[in-house]
Amino acid sequence: MHPSPLRLASSRPSPDDDRPEEVIGPPAFSGVNLLAGLFKLASYKDLIYTLTLVRLQVRYKQSILGWIWAVAQPLALMLAYTLIFSVLGRIPSEGVPYPAFTLAALLPWTVFSSSVNNATGGMVHFGYLLTKVYFPREIIPFTYVLAALFDFVVQLVVLIGILLYYHVHLTIRILYIIPVMFCVALFSAGIALLLSAWQVHFRDVGVAMPLSLQVWMLASPVVYPLRSVPAGLRRIYLLNPLAGLVENFRRAMIPGLALDWGLLAVSALLSAAGFLLCYAVFKHLDSTLADVI
């Protein structure tokens, strides 16, 4: 006999128990449902943790460099951009060496781009699971964002190493990256939710992804400073919440530049609004995703 942890008949709740009754109805859309959906995620924290862990475990299985890839990608971009924008063309870099200048911006950008890029295909990739098991569907895109944040922490160590190498003094101000990264994660999660649900209906989303991300990066102050954007364009330019977030992340990392609090507030507001809007669309679509995949 196997020693399975059997419940005895007596452990069955008595008939007059008050186990909560759950009512499943047709998809209904309301602000209350939206918030309830977010709060319900708390009871799935173990699943979120496990899926994120799996995401990290699986990514570099059967690869030789393994973890090094997480760092190699932004470093390679840093070298390429240094060559193009610093050696060949001259772009002002706020008084720090260009590699440090651009890597500081690449880190928050990479969180956004890898979250969105990976999560977009995520829902379709896990289609076999969505049609067999129930759990809140938003968990899948969220785990991609969490995995990207984990990579970010590793990359941050490398960034700090590079700043030290260039004798850039680190101050306690780098703690300001925490609220900045919170907003980056929130906005990334929003876009990841939206695109992963649309990808189920239209595979075009995934096909357009590399190009869109490239354009989006050029529309954010990653390879150039925000102040080189003409003042007349600023207003439209800053509608992209990543612009203010990437800029402020860099300002927190590099001493001598003050944080632009006004800009950060606008970006935070746009990120939160963007997240809620995307989450609303996602919750509207998610009840039939399993039927459409």
By the criterion CB under 8 A, which residues form the site for other proteins? 2-9, 11-13, 15-16, 19-27, 46-47, 49-51, 54, 57-58, 61-62, 128-135, 198, 201-202, 281, 284-285, 287-288, 290-292
Nearer to other proteins, 131 or 171 (CB): 131
Nearer to other proteins, 139 or 158 (CB): 139
- Cα 231 from Cα 227, distance rounded (Å): 8
Q: Are 11 and 103 a contacting pair, CB within 8 Å?
A: no
> CB 97 → other proteins: shortest distance, Å?
40
**One-letter amino acid of 89:** G
Question: What letter represents residue 81's amino acid?
Answer: Y
Question: Could you tell me the smallest distance in angstroms from the CB atom of residue 202 to other proteins?
Answer: 7
Nearer to other proteins, 54 or 239 (CB): 54
Under 8 Å between Cβ of 126 and 51: no
The least CB distance from residue 271 to other proteins, in Å, is: 21
Q: How far is residue 181's CA from residue 220's CA, in Å, rounded to a whole number?
A: 15
DSSP characters for 58-101? Answer: HHTTT-SSTTHHHHHHHHHHHHHHIIIIIIIS----TTS-HHHH
CB 19 to other proteins: min, Å: 5
Nearer to other proteins, 123 or 268 (CB): 123
Give the dihedral sign, CA 219/74/260/255.
Answer: negative
Q: 72-82 as b/e, with b when 16 or more CB fall inside 10 Å? A: ebbbebbeebb
Compute the least distance from the CB of residue 269 to other proteins, in Å: 24
In the complex, minimum distance from the CB of residue 198 to other proteins, in angstroms, rounded to a whole number: 7
If the CB atoms of residues 103 and 195 are measured against other proteins, the closer one turns out to be 195
CA distances from 203 to 40, 123, 142, 199 (A): 29, 11, 20, 5
Cβ closest to other proteins, residue 19 vs residue 90: 19
